[in-house]
């Protein structure tokens, strides 16, 4: 059994700072009040907002990577945002024992920002730090509506996007576990492993891949190999870039 110490969430989520990178989550008002919430960005009914945020981000990623198709950039952009959300949520769940309410109406996003994605949580409210809450906050609150929005505009298979979500989760867990081992925080590593294992059994992630320790082998491909000079990722279902039809990697 992993003993969990509950700590109140502070207003600036300072415990995430030593983790750096994808884990940092800025709080309070963003620098520009015109930045959309993720809730509006996911809403394809508001076509102007979608075009100005999600589509803009996809095109930015496509230009940066010289992706030959927008759907490739859409996959990579989705995985990048998933990594940001999983990292912040999992980091808080492990270090605080609580998760901030990441309701998409409370998170503002700069689609023109650098990587990792620039996010601001406008209000900090604590939720339980269990796997069920993590799944509700990240999977159901963000990745499912994002998947619906992307699939409405791009030819992306559900299995690919679920694989991206699982890969992003395991990547966040790997980074968190590495930090824990380097800092003698064995309880953090144990808690991270327990939560990750439980989350991968969630119906929306089950069957996406195989986890052995911190190593993950997914059953789908994010399409990064189709970017010039991209190759395959460390957890890809392929061991080398496929020579057959690129659609074989999208399931």
Token digits of residue 186: 């064995």
- Total domains in the fold of the chain: 1
Beta-carbon contacts of residue 89 (< 8 Å; ≥ 6 apart): 99, 100, 102, 134, 137, 138
Q: Is residue 1 part of a domain?
A: no
Element (H, E) at 27: strand 26-27
Q: Is residue 186 part of a domain?
A: yes
More confident residue, 245 or 143: 143
Domain with 66, as residue range(s), is 14-249
Q: How confident is the model at residue 6 (pLDDT cuts 50, 70, 90)?
A: low
Q: ∠160-39-204 over CA atoms, to 5°?
A: 30
pLDDT of res. 214: 84
Q: Is residue 9 part of a domain?
A: no
Q: Is residue 200 part of a domain?
A: yes
Q: Is residue 121 part of a domain?
A: yes
Mean pLDDT of 109-132: 95
Per DSSP, the residues of 57-90 read: HHHHHHHHHT-SSHHHHHHHHHHHHHHHHHHHHH
**98 SS3 class:** strand
Q: Is residue 4 part of a domain?
A: no
Q: Is residue 177 part of a domain?
A: yes
Q: How confident is the model at residue 247 (pLDDT cuts 50, 70, 90)?
A: very low
Q: Is residue 2 part of a domain?
A: no
Smallest CA-to-CA distance from 226 within 216, 215, 236 is with: 236
The reply to whether omega before 116 is within 30° of 0 (cis) is yes
pLDDT of res. 164: 97
Mean pLDDT of 67-87: 97
Q: What CA–CA distance (Å, rounded) separates 213 from 167?
A: 14
Summarised one tens digit per residue, pLDDT across range 177-225 is 999 999 999 999 999 999 999 999 999 999 999 999 889 999 999 999 9
CA distances from 158 to 79, 118, 204 (A): 13, 26, 10
Model-level pTM greater than 0.85? yes
CA distances from 94 to 45, 140, 193, 194 (A): 36, 20, 10, 10
């Amino acid at each position: 059994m992993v003993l969990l110490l509950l700590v109140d969430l502070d207003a600036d989520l300072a415990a995430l700072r030593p983790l750096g990178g994808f884990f940092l989550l800025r709080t309070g008002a963003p620098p520009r009040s015109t930045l959309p919430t993720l809730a509006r960005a996911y809403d394809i009914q508001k076509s102007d907002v979608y075009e100005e945020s999600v589509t803009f981000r996809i095109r930015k990623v496509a230009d940066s990577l010289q992706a030959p198709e927008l759907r490739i950039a859409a996959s990579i952009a989705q995985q990048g945002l998933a990594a940001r959300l999983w990292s912040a949520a999992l980091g808080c769940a492990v270090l605080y024992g609580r998760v901030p309410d990441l309701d998409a109406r409370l998170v503002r996003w700069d689609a023109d920002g650098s990587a990792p994605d620039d996010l601001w949580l406008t209000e900090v409210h604590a939720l339980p730090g269990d796997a069920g809450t993590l799944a509700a906050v990240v999977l159901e609150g963000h990745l499912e509506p994002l998947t619906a929005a992307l699939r409405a505009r791009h030819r992306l298979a559900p299995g690919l996007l679920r694989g991206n979500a699982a890969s992003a989760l395991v990547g966040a867990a790997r980074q968190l576990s590495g930090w824990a081992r380097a800092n003698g925080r064995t309880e953090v590593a144990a808690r991270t492993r327990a939560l990750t294992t439980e989350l991968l059994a969630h119906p929306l992630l089950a069957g996406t891949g195989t986890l052995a320790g911190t190593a993950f082998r997914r059953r789908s491909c994010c399409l990064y190999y189709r970017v010039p000079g991209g190759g395959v990722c460390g957890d890809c279902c392929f061991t080398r870039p496929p020579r057959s039809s690129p659609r074989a990697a999208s399931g």
